[in-house]
Structure 1
Amino acid sequence: MNLMKNGYAFIVFFALFIAVSRTWFDRAYVAKDLSEAPLIKLIMQGAILFTLFVIPGILLVRWYYKQKSKMQ
């Protein structure tokens, strides 16, 4: 039995990549200083971005698999 379908794993890794890269981009290119913000602030920003991307992504993947199972 497959515990996790590929779509769920893909969306979790995609959300993690986007959250980490956008947090780093904001600090490196917009604020121009990585040492300006404390570590907890960076972690919180990454966690919030991850949550904002993963929840709609999981809902879309869930909807896709439901539609796919209706077609079979």
Structure 2
Amino acid sequence: MPSADPVRAPARTAWYRQPVVWLGVTLFVASLAGCVWIIVVAAHHPDTPVEHAGSGLFGVPSTAHSSHGPPPAKPQ
């Protein structure tokens, strides 16, 4: 016996018929291909050594000491 409700439910379509799914798959595959390409290119071009300008990173010292000594002790 058919339903008494005259409003039909929308027909479900398969996931592979949705364009947004294919857009997402395309973007995902393109990003993976880009990562692989970057790794391959980086493996073909080794890093050249850079002249060491001092201890630290970007001019920030890597140790906690300063170049100034402690103030001289005053005799009591």
TM-score tier, shorter chain, comes to: 0.3 to 0.5
Report which of the two has the higher share of helix.
1
Structure whose alpha-carbon radius of gyration is higher: 2
The alignment's TM-score, normalised by the length of structure 1, stands at 0.38
The alignment's TM-score, normalised by the length of structure 2, stands at 0.37
